């Protein structure tokens, strides 16, 4: 009964306050499944506001699973350009191909089959089942985790472990409107139970929230340590153009065009020019200007004034911008 009250309160709040997002449009069940698949891949590691224009452009150009499965890789990367984590879009295409080949062109509606698809883990499978298929599942993203931690006042390491959060989320109950309820919980975390300065006065479940009662909204997190990595980035310039290579050496941005780079192991007197955060890596970069002595395999020249004409990762574009500004 308690769960039903919480469920209804959150759904009532959602019905009035939910954002109008392009993947939430009323449409056929087949399109809803496709929209959910694409949006969930895009939303991995990326905020909603950033995803919206990319999603709209992607759906316009690639409106269904069939066109995605057959899409030219260059076009696909261009549509994804700027979102980062490019393995996502490669896996998205592989998933479309596998669904067409192995599942009769229908996105599977069970956990194990969804998990067998490239790029789909526990969370994404749960989100697709809840949102696209109305299964009574609560996907545990960062927003829902925050609501749980605050409402139940979970602070120590054992309490905030993923397996405990999965166990504790049962108090949220379920709903016949499972699709709406999963999105309502995410929305509550995104709009109200924000990481800092939550809007408790607008929260539908604030009355029994332990963090609100104690007036302590600080969140406990597992501290992930980024690996410190050092790279020598080699700049070759000719006729105001820069040389790029197809990345065959590093796991990050595999097969994308980057500047020639060499990883340095614990260098001494390292004079850093640039720093990037990428996945779980803190990249310290030193720039070295070089002259070409012999041909470099898998390389080509780009004109910095025509950056928009090339399919390049944001990482490479930022380095070009830096070089142009500090030449």
Query: Annotated active-site positions, please?
Result: 40
Tell me the C-alpha to C-alpha distance, in Å, between residue 295 and each of 197, 235, 274, 299.
56, 14, 27, 8
The residues with which 287 forms a beta bridge, in sequence order, are 233
Task: Tell me how long the chain is.
Answer: 327
User: What are the C-alpha distances in Å from 102 to residues 107, 108, 114, 121, 233?
Assistant: 10, 10, 12, 18, 44
Beta-ladder partners of 288: 234
Question: 3-state class of 7 per DSSP?
Answer: helix
Closest listed residue to residue 146, CA positions, set 190, 108, 99, 109: 190
In the DSSP assignment, the letter for residue 218 is P
DSSP label at residue 226: P
Angle 26-29-34 from CA coordinates, rounded to 5°: 90
Q: In sequence order, what are the residues at sequence separation of 6 or more whose Cβ sits closer than 8 angstroms to the Cβ of residue 42?
A: 51, 54, 55, 58, 83, 88
Q: Which two tokens stand for residue 112?
A: 């194990």
């Amino acid at each position: 009964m308690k769960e039903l009250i919480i469920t209804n309160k959150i759904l009532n709040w959602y019905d009035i306050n939910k954002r109008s997002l392009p993947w939430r449009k009323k449409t056929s069940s087949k399109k809803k499944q496709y929209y959910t698949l694409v949006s969930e891949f895009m939303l991995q590691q990326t905020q909603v506001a950033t995803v919206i224009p990319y999603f709209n452009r992607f759906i316009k150009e690639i409106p269904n699973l069939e066109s995605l499965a057959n899409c030219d890789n260059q076009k696909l990367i261009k549509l994804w350009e700027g979102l980062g984590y490019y393995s996502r879009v490669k896996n998205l295409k592989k998933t479309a191909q596998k669904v067409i080949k192995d599942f009769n062109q229908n996105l599977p509606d069970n956990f194990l089959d969804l998990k067998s698809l490239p790029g789909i883990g526990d969370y994404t499978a749960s989100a697709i089942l809840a949102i696209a298929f109305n299964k009574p599942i609560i996907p545990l993203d960062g927003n829902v985790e925050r609501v749980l931690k605050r409402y139940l006042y979970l602070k120590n390491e054992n309490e905030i472990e993923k397996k405990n959060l999965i166990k504790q989320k049962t108090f949220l109950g379920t709903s016949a409107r499972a699709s709406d309820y999963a999105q309502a919980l995410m929305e509550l975390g995104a709009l109200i139970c924000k990481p800092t300065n939550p809007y408790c006065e607008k929260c539908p479940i604030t009355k029994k929230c332990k963090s609100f009662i104690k007036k302590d909204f600080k969140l406990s997190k597992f501290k992930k340590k980024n690996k410190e990595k050092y790279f020598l980035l080699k700049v070759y310039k000719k006729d105001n153009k820069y040389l790029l290579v197809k990345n065959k050496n590093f796991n990050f941005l595999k097969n994308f065009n980057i500047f020639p780079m060499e990883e340095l192991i614990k260098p001494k007197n390292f004079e850093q020019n640039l720093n990037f955060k990428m996945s779980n890596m803190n990249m310290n970069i030193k720039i070295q200007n070089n002259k070409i002595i012999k041909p470099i395999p898998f390389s080509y020249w780009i004109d910095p004034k025509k950056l928009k004409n090339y399919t390049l990762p944001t990482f490479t574009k930022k380095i070009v911008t830096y070089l142009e500004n500090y030449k």
